[in-house]
Structure 1
Amino acid sequence: MPAEPANRLFFALWPDEATREACAEAARQLRLRMQPRGAASVVARYHLTLLFLGDHVPEVAEAAARQAASRVRARPFTLRLDHAGCFRNREVPWWLGSREPPPALNVLYERLRETMLRARVPVQPMRFSPHLTIHRDAGLPLPPTLITPVDWPVSDFVLIRSRLGRGPVVYEEVGRWPLDPAAPEPTPEPGQLDLL
């Protein structure tokens, strides 16, 4: 049986230009101070992943995901990125994150995930650890480090297709959905959000 064609899709928060530039400056300062190996993330591809749908998403699942995303209702919010760190895996990726992510971020994640599951859109089982990757293959760990805070106004979310090939990775925006200031605002249960 032939394998499904590549169709790598994920939902994400996509920063505006001012946020992107502020994050790039924070990343530059960290690189100057720490002198990592590896490669800086491409600033134009900065994002925060909400849900990963998979590497081979069938067309029918992609269509269902787009339709379901239009039913997600969550309020806009501000995400303050105020520290940096790394994951201790083979690539030693460095990231920017929030010491106190706003409850609205977890509400958006939960509503998006639940909406996808109700629509029978397969979602990859991954722990939600909100972060924006700024460097890969650093070769040395980045201890928890305070940065000049970056206030990211989050007013929508996107579905991105990641095209992997022999050249650089290309991100294609498949859809964008605005957040709704009139959406209900439940208080999440304590401990729902996995903090970095």
Structure 2
Amino acid sequence: MKGPRLIFMAQPSPDVTAAMRMAIARNGLQNSNLSPEDNWHQTLSDRYADTPATRHKMLRAGEQVRAQACTLELNRIRDQVHKEQGHETIHWAFRARGRTPCFNALLAAVQQALNDEGLATSSGHTPHSTISYRAPTRLGPTRMDPIAWTIGELLLVVGGQSERYSYEAIGRWPLQPAAPDRSSTQLSLF
């Protein structure tokens, strides 16, 4: 798909971005072909061509999403080889431990809202944030302290409208506060 694209996403807070930057430095990756930090994100929908009708539908869908905030635990940096137009590229991404029920619920809520607006969707998104789409080498094992990333806001962005690929937020919706962790509440009673 060429031209500007619309996507629902979440972006890390400045604290999470700083922790990611520290993990990158710890693994000696900071001088590699990294994406700009303001492009790091968690994908929450498919990409759609930016037409007036689709933009209107996606803005309405964003208003319909009812989901709780969700915390991902980023615990490693991994590589993945992608085949694009006859050649291979290496992507580097922070990955999270498992797919939590709240992450699945958030994806389902976004998907349902898009379906309600007549936009076809898939649900193949995994908890991760790509930091390089053209990495120079494969990665070996990486070391890092786990990073807790709480997704508390849904963003609708348009990307690809300038020479330097970037995202412009055109809609923002806060997610509902996360349910209290019952296990810690129960422990505090004893």
Q: Which amino acid aligns with 2:142?
A: T
Q: Give, in whole Å, the separation in 1 of the partners of 2:46 and 2:69.
A: 21
Pairs within 5 Å for 1:176-191: 176-181=172-177
2:119 to 118, 121, 130: 121
Identical residues among aligned pairs (%): 25
Tell me by how many angstroms 1:144 deviates: 5.2
1:10 to 7, 10, 26: 7
Tell me by how many angstroms 1:99 deviates: 1.9
SS where residue 168 of structure 2 aligns?
A: strand
2:165 to 169, 184, 192: 169
Q: Give, in whole Å, the separation in 2 of the partners of 1:24 and 1:182.
A: 26
Change (3 A) 1:168 1:72: same
- For 2:150, the equivalent position in structure 1 comes to 153
Contact 2:62 2:154 in 1 (8 A): no
1:85 to 78, 85, 91: 78
1:21-62: CA deviations, max 9, x gaps? 1112212222x1x6885x1111122111111232x2321111
TM-score (norm 2): 0.81
Report whether the alignment pairs 1:136 with 2:133: yes
Contact 1:95 1:132 in 2 (8 A): yes
Contact 1:155 1:179 in 2 (8 A): yes
Pairs within 5 Å for 1:52-131: 52-54=46-48, 56-89=49-82, 90-123=88-121, 125=122, 127-131=124-128
2:19 to 17, 22, 29: 22
Q: Give, in whole Å, the separation in 2 of the partners of 1:182 and 1:138.
A: 35
Structure 1: 4+ residue segments shifted above 4 A: 34-37
Task: Could you tell me which runs of 5 or more consecutive residues in structure 1 were left unpaired when the two chains were aligned.
Answer: 184-196
Question: What's the Cα RMSD here?
Answer: 2.4
Task: Could you tell me which runs of 5 or more consecutive residues in structure 2 were left unpaired when the two chains were aligned.
Answer: 83-87, 180-190
